[in-house]
Structures are given as structure tokens and as C-alpha cells.
Structure 1
Amino acid sequence: MFIVDSDCHNYWCSADVLLPYLKGWWKDCFVRGERTGPAGSFPHGHRAWFHPEGFKRADINPQNEDENYALMCERHLDLNGIDIAILTGDEPLEVSTLGNPHFAQALASAYNDWLLEQWLPRDERFYGSIIIAPQDATIAAQEIRRLGAHSRLVQVLASHASTMPYGDPHYHPIYEACVEMGLPFAIHLGGNGGINAMPFANGAPRYFSEAHTLLPQSAQTHVVSMIMNGVFEKYPTLKFIVIECGVSWVAPLLWRLDTEWRALRKETPWLKRPPSEYFFEHIRFTTQPLEQPDKLEHLWACLEGMNGKQTLMFASDYPHWDQDHISSIRLPAGWDEAVFGGNALDTYTRITVPRSVSATAN
């Protein structure tokens, strides 16, 4: 079975690795400006909730980039037979929390250049994400066009935490650039705090466990917003990927959305089809974190309701504390090849089979 991990985090040991990729005023801001942690930390707005144990697995504690790569191979890629890993960074998503959009995108661009020089050449299994700061869509679009033709960059990636829902016309320059460069637009859990609107309804919870449970609320907002604002009518080739926001809520949301559209469709005359049809054609979800109910058939009913055989892509979330292992994911019969690899290959059209993978693995 050909396996694509759609969410594999390449850490740095210190954000100072960005120094060679920052220039002028922005390098001065990075070196001399305020940070929210000790030397080597990444500039970002403060979070209200802190993980009580830390985000990384306790057994993954590299001291340098070479060791980081070696651990990823030993404890994930080689161990689990991963054929392709989509690298999604980690801290760079925090650029969405910064008020200065120019500094935010300068930091994201420095990460993108570091990724191209220091990570993608290490392994032919690696493909990367162009991280953007969506606060200023025009600046973000410039970054997409700067790097979008690179054959090993397969998506544009932003935080799920944003100042407004992603269906808002404010973001159209980003989607225009994505379509022009032939890249899907993806959002990933993270980047909460700073200038972003509170990602929770009815105010802030108290505990990290509450916040982590409720994070899919923002993904629900973005899915509905993208569909109802006609993004996929205006950009009919655009794919939208939702990473690390759970999946069991998707089917009930689509049922409700279709019902509301049928009753109130005159409000959105640009929609030519039921909202669920746009979802099935344009939106993809990653499996992690895949909910684990006591009765497996309850999960499978939710997956079937979102046409999961077509819309789900495997993701591990390596090396985070709640990483999903391949052996823990149990899917309906006949789904494995599509969910573990086939759907990602259809979505990330630039992926080529590594030379090291035998013909039988395909």
C-alpha cells in the first residue's frame, strides 16, 4: 500500500535557523525585537492556553537538524513505511498571530526558504508547504507566486485561526494565486492568539483540554464560509484542505447546511448546487485526530456521511503528543488504499513516486 502522510511536522531546534534567510529591517526586528520566549524562540502572539505536558512526544528531543531528521526516519517514516511526507512546519503558523503583516510574511518567507534549502533536499520522500501570513492577502499572494512553481511544494498553508472566515472576499487574492500556480489551499490547527478573533463560541474556556476539544469550531466556520460565499464557483479548480480539526462533525454539518440552503437559497443565488456537492468536489480532510468512539460503527457512519473514501487523507501529526499511528486507524472495508495514499495523490498532483519505492508498492 502506498502511504502519504499529509501532516508531518519538521521542527527546528531554534528559530535562529531563520537568520540567514531574513534581510534588512526584518532581520533587525528578529534579532533585536521582542520575543515571547527565551533566545531561539519564534515571535508570536501569546496563547491563552498552554499544554500541560508540551506538544511534542517525550521521546523526540533532537539537539540539531541532522538528529531531527534521523529521528523522523527512525521513529516514523521508516518504521511505518511512509512513502511520501508532506512537511507542514510547526511554529511558522504562528505568523497569523502578529499584527504587522509585513513582518509576519517575512518570517513565513524565511521559513519557506529554509525548508527549500535545509529539508527538502534531505529526502526524496519530502514535499513541502508554502506557509503564508493571511493578514494581508496581497502580500501572501506575492509569496505564493514567488515559490509556487517549485515542483516539491504542493500546497499553500495558513493557520485555521484567522481574523475573519476564509470565505470572505478579503482572501480572494490568495485563491487567485493558488489557482494560477495550481496549488491547493490548506489550513492547519494552530496559530491561536494575538490579533486573531477568539476561535470559540461564547468566549474563552478555562483549560487546555477544553480548548483542544473545541478547536473544530473554527474549521466548521471556514467550511461553511468557503462554500456559501461562492469561493468554489469563482475558483472552480481550487481545492481546500482542512488539517487536524477532527472529522466526526462533518456529516451533520453538511446535512444542516443543505437543509438551510434549500430553504434560503435566494440569499446565495451564486450557488448552483447543494452545498454538500461543493464539499465533495473541493474539500478534503486529514484523518488526524480521528475520533475513537466505543462503538466503531458509530465512527464509520460519520465517515460514510462525508463520503470519507473520497474526502479523507491519512495524516499522522508526527511528532505531536496526540500523533495517530497507522495501526490505530480502522477504516471501512475497501477504503485503505484511497485514504492512506490515493486521495492525497489525487489532491497533491505534483507528487511523483520516489525512485526508492518498488513497482509493487504502487
Structure 2
Amino acid sequence: MIDCDVHNDWSTAEVLLPYLDDYFRDFLIRGEKPGPRGTFPRAQRAWLHPEGFRRQDINPVTQDDHYNLMKEHLLDKYDIDVAILTGDETLDISTIANRYYGNALASAYNNWVIDEWLSRDRRLKGSIVIYSPDPENAAAEIRRVGEHPDMVQIIMSSGSIRPYGDPFYHPIWEAASQMNLPIAVHLGGQAGINTQTFSSGPPTFYWEAHALLCQAGMSHVASTIAHGVFEKWPNTYLILTECGVSWFPTVLWRLDNDYRALRKETPWLKRLPSEYARDHIRLTTQPLENPDNKQHLWNVLETFDAKHTLLFSSDYPHWDFDDPTKIPIPADWRENILDANARQVYSRLPARDSKSHS
């Protein structure tokens, strides 16, 4: 089983201090920390969870607790072969206006996760966090860390100053292609300089906002296809993490229809949008919509061949964690979604029979 969205956290952001130079170390020690948890310098979220983000049965105190609880409640409990770490508070660095500080924090986090997490357990694999508003330096960070064998993807938050197919971001895609790493876009980063979150303005309640955050995923799908990202870099993948699933085929239907009518705008495209999506875009299961009639969901999933394109994710240890034994998918799809599909996308994962835990 491969879990494609496991959040590794810290007891305090001060764990990054040894990885920052004196100038930015002073920022972290003395600077304002307005985040909801008060541990990381980021723009304040507009929508605060009324119960907190972490599961109530998981309450780490020390840094060691974070790993030990993950091992108990996820890795060992469900016999996970690979857990892809996706960070947590660091996903919000792209909301910071100071690009120099944002890049420094990204590099510090990447060094910390290699030292503190990847060395603990062979099952753990890392994601390269980048400061996406500065694509040239983000690309340099990808190349700096991208040779590490246990860094298996690049990760950005879904909140952004532009949709991710825009040529502004092409240095990032170029570096991803060079390193043969997929790019994961994870739900989050809706604050600070990333102000274009909802198409008609901000909602009021957390649950309302959470249900609507798939809008950013729609924009990134349309943008990467329309700007020809997958024509320019045919070895790349876009993984939408925690962005929902059921909206995906309807957006592709609309894109196909409009492309047929207006293809003269984008002569660099050689295929239908849905064909690019089939080969280059993957979605993770959490949160997988769960209607009263499961067959309704399965019918939707079949329209984009989810048996071969959907990746399992638990979102551990967040409040909406999904138990891998209970996700509502057909029984004959489970082997693909829980394992085989991810191995196709993540080229650095070990062979299926080489299971070696620390």
C-alpha cells in the first residue's frame, strides 16, 4: 500500500533554525508568527477550523512523538509500504510576500525533512517544497535537492498567484522534467499574496470553503493542458492532492468541447484535453466524495478510468483522515488504486517485493 498524502509536522518551527543562516534565523526567532497555531510565519487563514486540523486521538508533544504516533496509527496499523510525506505548515510559504524568506524556509524545510524524517524509516519518502512565486529559484531548489533518491516529488499549494500552466511557472516544469519528478499540487495556500481563491469572492464558513476549494484544482488542470505543459515536457505528471475527485470528468468534458470549437487559439496542442489528462494528470482519493448510493460515485469514476488513474491518500493525521480499508471503491480496483497506479507515477519508489522497514 502506498499512501500519497501523509503530513509530517513539527512541535515547533524552531526545528528549522539550524538550517537557516543568521539573517533568516533572526526572522524566525523574533518575527511575527500570525498562523493559527502560532508556530510558523505565514499569512493568517481566513477560515479557521472550529475543531482543529489534527485528529483528536493524535496529540504529539515532542518531535519524536510525531514519528512514533505516525508509526503506530498509520505505518504499522495498515502495513503501509510507502508513505509520501507532504509537509504541513510549510505548504503555506507561498503566501509570504518576501521571496527571499520564502526560498530560505523552503530550503531549510527540505534539509530538515531529509535529516529528521527520511533517515528514520525506509517507508518514508519526501516531497520537495518550493516557493512557487519565484520560479527561477524554485527550479534551482528542485535541482539542488532533486538528486536525493528518497525525494519522490515536488509539491506546491493549490493557492497561487497564477494557474500553474502559465509560462511564468515553466522554469519549475523544466526542472521537474530534468529531475524526472512529478509535481503535486496540494490543497492549501489560500491567503497572503494568493488572493484569488474563490471565483465569486470569499465564503463565510470553514465547511463551505472546504467544500469549494476544488475550484483551484479546476484552474490548474485547464491551465497546464492549455499552455501545452505536457507537450513540452512529456515525462511530467500533475498530481492533484486533496482537491476532490468527482468534478474532474465534467471539467474535462467542457474542455474537450471548447477545444474542438476554438482549437486555433492553442495550435501547439496535438490531442484533446481529456487525452492529456489521461496520460499526465492524477488525483488522490482523499477526500473522495461519498454519496448515499456508491454506484453514482463509481459511475463518475469510470468516466475518467479511475481504476488506472486514481492514487490512494489518507491525509494522516488530519481531521478528515481516510481509513484505507474503508474507502468506497470497487473491490477489483483496490490493488491499482492502493499500489500499482502510484508506482507508475513515482519512478523512484522501490519495487513492490522489496519491502524493508527500519
TM-score (norm 2): 0.97
Match of 1:80, SS state, is coil
Aligned-pair distance for 1:357? 2.8
Q: Is the 8 A contact 2:160 2:196 kept in 1?
A: no
Spell out, residue by residue over 1:121-151, the C-alpha distance to the aligned partner (whole angstroms, 9 max, x if none).
1100000000001010001001001000100
Backbone CA RMSD of aligned residues? 1.4
Residue 332 of structure 2 is aligned with which of 327, 331, 334?
Answer: 334
Equivalent residue for 1:310, pick from 301, 308, 311 = 308
Matched with 2:110 is 112
The answer to whether the 8 A contact 1:14-1:40 is kept is no
Aligned-residue offset at 1:354: 8.0
Partner of 2:144: 146
Aligned residue identity for 2:32: E
Tell me the secondary structure at the aligned position of residue 177 of structure 2: helix
Instruction: Give per-residue Cα distances to partners, 1:188-217, cap 9 Å, x unaligned.
Output: 011210000231111011110110010000
Partner of 1:254: 252
Q: 2:228 aligns with which of 204, 227, 230?
A: 230
- Which residue number in structure 2 is paired with residue 32 of structure 1? 30
How big is the shift at 1:46? Answer: 1.2
The residue aligned with 2:185 is 187
Do 1:48 and 1:193's aligned partners in 2 also have CA atoms closer than 8 Å?
A: yes
> What is the one-letter code of the residue matched to 2:350?
T
Q: 1:264 to 1:200 in 2, by over 3 A?
A: same
Query: Where do 5+ consecutive residues of structure 1 fail to align?
Result: none
Residue correspondences, number: 356
1:157 aligned to 2:164?
no
Of the candidates 162, 175, 178, which is equivalent to residue 176 of structure 2? 178
Picking from 318, 321, 324, the partner of 2:322 is 324
Cα displacement (A) at 1:311: 1.1
The sequence identity of aligned pairs, in percent, is 54
Q: Match of 2:39?
A: 41
Taking structure 1 as reference, are residues 339 and 233 closer, same or farther at Cα in structure 2, changes over 3 Å only? Answer: same
Of residues 199, 202, 209 in structure 1, which corresponds to 2:200? 202
SS in 2 for 1:225: helix
Evaluate the alpha carbon distance shift between residue 203 and residue 125 of structure 1 in structure 2; reply closer, same or farther with a 3 A threshold: same
| Structure 1 residue 332, shift from structure 2 partner | 2.4
Q: Report the 3-state secondary structure (helix = DSSP H, G, I; strand = E; otherwise coil) of the residue aligned with 1:158.
A: strand
1:357 aligns with 2:355: yes
Contact 2:127 2:153 in 1 (8 A): yes
**Aligned letter for 1:241?**
I
Q: Distance between the aligned counterparts of 1:242 and 1:191, measured in 2?
A: 14
SS in 2 for 1:320: coil
Any idea what the Cα deviations from partners look like across 1:89-135, whole Å, max 9, x if unmatched?
10001101100111111111111111000000110000000000101
- Per-residue deviation, residues 225-265 of structure 1 (Å, max 9, x unmatched): 10011111111111111100000111111111111111111
Alignment of 1:12-161 (within 5 A): 12-37=10-35, 41-161=39-159
SS at match of 1:31: helix
- Provide closer, same or farther for how the CA distance between residues 356 and 73 of structure 1 changes in structure 2, counting only shifts above 3 A: farther
Ranges in structure 2 where 5+ consecutive residues have no aligned partner:
none
- In structure 2, C-alpha distance between the alignment counterparts of 1:356 and 1:170, rounded to whole Å: 40
Decide whether aligned partners of structure 1 residues 354 and 263 sit closer, same or farther in structure 2, where only a CA change above 3 A counts. Answer: closer
Distance 1:47 1:299 in 2: 31
Distance 1:49 1:355 in 2: 44
Distance 1:238 1:354 in 2: 22
Contact 2:290 2:328 in 1 (8 A): no
Q: What is the TM-score with the length of structure 1 in the denominator?
A: 0.96
Preserved contact between residue 15 and residue 40 of structure 1 (Cα < 8 Å): no
- Give 1:40 shift: 6.3
Structure 1 counterpart of 2:8: 10
